[in-house]
Amino acid sequence: MIVFYEDRNFQGRSYECSSDFADMSSYLSRCHSCRVERGCFMVYDRTNFMGNQYFLRRGEYSDYMSMMGMSDCIRSCRMIPMYRGNYRMRIYERENFGGQMYELMDDCDNIMDRYRMSNCMSCNVMDGHWLMYEQPHYRGRMMYMRPGEYRSFMNMGMGSMRFMSMRRIMDSCY
């Protein structure tokens, strides 16, 4: 469960949420702090799970905008379900599953070093939930990937963003 607050330091009106929430504007005019009481969540700076994404685990975020460098308020959130199984994802050099393909079953801090792959433009997540990062060593903007086919990152509202590292969302995150 996550509790959102209109103002910094858990002040102002609040709203509790324990599932996906596409548009917070009907409940809060703004959101500047939150408290994750259980589970893990992705929060987005645009409605309908679009825009920049941020991963939140259990804890208090009294002024997450300055902590995470967010330029805007949280507008939507997605609960990440707990998963206890195998992890498997195929990454592809080009859109529509083209070019070189590599299968991951564990974290990869740099696809260039591990696979000599300079770009990742599509993927197929077969098992588990993953975070993909713009830069090596789990840095930069990120994107949450749940099981499914992702034929083109360009069509997902991420512009020309490319992914250079990937990490599994494990039990230790909860």
pLDDT single digits (tens) 24-36: 988 888 888 899 9
Q: CATH homologous superfamily for 2-80?
A: Crystallins (2.60.20.10)
Contact 129, 83 (CB under 8 A): yes
Question: Is 62:8 a contact under the CB 8 Å cutoff?
Answer: yes
Both structure tokens of 154: 């360009």
Which residues are 17's β-sheet partners?
2
Could you report the per-residue pLDDT of 48-75, keeping only the tens digit for each? 998 888 999 999 998 876 666 666 688 9
Domain spans, the chain: 2-80, 88-173
Predicted pLDDT of residue 153: 83
Distance of CA 50 to CAs 89, 106, 131, 150, Å? 22, 26, 15, 15
- Residue 32: predicted pLDDT: 85
- The C-alpha atoms of residue 86 and residue 105 are separated, in whole angstroms, by 8
Question: Spelled out in words, what is the top-level CATH class assigned to the domain 88-173?
Answer: mainly beta
Asked if domains 2-80 and 88-173 share a fold, the reply is yes
Q: What is the pLDDT of residue 86?
A: 95
Q: Which residue has the higher pLDDT, 174 or 13?
A: 13
Q: What pLDDT digit, counting tens, does each position of 89-135 carry?
A: 999 999 999 999 999 999 999 999 999 998 899 999 999 999 999 99
The answer to whether 165 and 111 are in contact (CB under 8 A) is: yes
